[in-house]
Chains A and B, each alone.
Chain A
Amino acid sequence: MNVAIVGIGIHPFGRHEGVSSLDMGGYAVRQALRDAGIPWQDLQFAFGGSLGAHLPGNDPATADTLVSRLGLTGLPFVNVHNGCATAGSALSLAASTIESGAFDVGLAVGFDKHPRGHFSSDPEILGLPPWYGEMGFLVTTQFFAMKINRYMHDYGISSSTLAKVAAKAYRNGSMNPNAWRRKPFSEEEILSSRMLNYPLTQYMFCSPDEGAAAVVLCRADRAREFTERPVYLRAATIRTRRFGSFEVFSPWLPLTRTDSPTVDASRAAYEAAGLGPDDIDVAQIQDSEAGAEVMHMAENGLCADGEQEALIQAGETEIGGRLPINTDGGLIANGEPIGASGMRQVYETVLQLRGDAGERQVPGRPRVGFTQVYGAPGVGSCTILTT
């Protein structure tokens, strides 16, 4: 893939009274433009991700309406709405547009402003019968809990390991000025917080929130026009669920199990990049809750099923460890504004590969970064970035 990222921007994640999703999106875009040293009118295209218009009680603005604030230049601007892979999809489409030769320089932006509490949805939008929601099954956190409960049973993962994952997230978040949750919690505090969905306690979960992130992309051979330190996008893949994968909002599962869409998306990413899991120096992966980070380590090929227990207990996924994961605090510390979540991972990876991550910089000059988002209705999206 001959695509470079030459500008990055982010609006802090969290709760921002009186700040609209468009305010946050515009802020992130202008920051990315400044970082690339390119004026808005020189951008040739844009893809924008936001889920708000499709979720009840959310700030409903669609991404393309940003042009009324940034400038009505006539550029082609496409809205992306693809579940929890919305940001990853916007980035992937922007990269493909450059690969196709249609344009040289463009934007991918994502934002959302979700109300408090768990995500809710109309079951019929998801093709599910009304009773599924009425009976109380339409709660994403139940799925996460049932998936990790089975995984702990099959592979011997302990509650202590789940708590260690969450403690790492808050600790890394405390070093990230753009994170929402910046107060460290001990493992004991995490384990003794309220049991929301067994075996997952309150502090093991991320929460929906608000935020925005943006990147300016260009054809790789033009990158030096904009920056001394381009980061190259080697792969940006999306896969949806196959028959037999265990997915959120499933009234039934078949008796046989198949790999998740994350497995498929990560394999495709490694193949496209010509790199393997052993080459990854730093990874940002979907931690909707602590168990998701554990399972996604294996689904992304970063370890074998069950190896997480020893790796996490030994601190190998900490910033100073062999495989630093979620160095910016991940979803647990940043929350999940869906349209922006995958773009935040890319923002953090670019910072790490540039060596600009400050207090939370991974030592030893990381050269290869990996990102992955996963979510409803069974979609995974991965990127691989290199210096």
Chain B
Amino acid sequence: MTRQVAIAEGLLSWASGEARLIGSRCETCGVVVFPSQRGCPACTGEETEVIELGTRGTLWTFTTQGFLPKWPYAGPGTDEAFEPYAVGYVELPGQVRVEARLVEVEVDDLHIGMDMELCVVPFITDDGGDEVVVPAFRPSGASVDGASA
């Protein structure tokens, strides 16, 4: 069976049983950032704690990627055969806006303010035959087969 691996360490956690993004919160001012980092860009504080982010939010803005990006892009596609993908910022209430791939939705159906939820989707197959997975957001209520609720 194909093994699934996350695109990077420290990006996702399954500790709670479901996938969650890993961020950090400043111990001085409480500002949340993603991915986790040491040092606070808001208050200059030094100490931060690693936290799991919420999985539901609203779409703050979005766009599409209509042409094959140059290196260091490592995803699928060639200049001749490239499937545009959607990108946006999802606002996680009380925490932070995170930039992410948007999946299981047609571009024409994307709109600012729509409800979104975190999911994990296949990205590429690596040299060792493992399936590399990445975090993404989909319209909340979208079922596994992609039909919108």
Contacts and interface: CB of A to CB of B under 8 A. Distances in A.
A120 B72 contact: yes
Interface in B56-84: 60-67, 69-75
Given A117-B70, A118-B69, A197 B75 contact: no
A127 to B, nearest CB: 9
Interface of B: 7-8, 11, 23, 31, 33-35, 41-42, 60-67, 69-75, 85, 87-89, 91, 94-99, 101, 107, 112, 123, 134
B113 to A, nearest CB: 9
A146 B61 contact: yes
B58 to A, nearest CB: 12
Given A131-B11, A253-B97, A254-B96, A138 B61 contact: no
Contact of B33 (A131, A146, A252): A252
Contacts, number: 118
B85 A253 contact: no
A69 interface: no
A143 to B, nearest CB: 9
B39 to A, nearest CB: 11
A130 B8 contact: yes
A20 to B, nearest CB: 23
B34, B42, B70, B97, most chain A CB atoms within 10 A: B70
23 contacts: A118-B67, A120-B70, A129-B8, A129-B35, A134-B74, A134-B75, A135-B134, A136-B87, A142-B63, A146-B63, A146-B89, A150-B61, A195-B64, A195-B66, A197-B63, A198-B62, A198-B63, A243-B42, A251-B98, A252-B96, A252-B99, A253-B96, A254-B97
Contacts of A198: 62-64, 66, 107
Nearest to B77: A136
A131 B123 CA distance: 12
Interface size class of A (residues with CB under 8 A): 35 or more
Contact of A255 (B7, B87, B91): B91
Contact of B31 (A134, A139, A254): A254
Interface string A25-60: 000000000000000000000000000000010000
A215 B134 CA distance: 49
Contacts of A117: 70
Contacts of B98: 251-252
A146 B123 contact: no
Contacts of A142: 63, 65, 87
B112 A197 contact: no
Please list the 6 inter-chain residue pairs (A to B) with the smallest Cβ-Cβ separation, ordered nearest first: A133-B72, A145-B63, A150-B61, A134-B74, A252-B34, A120-B70
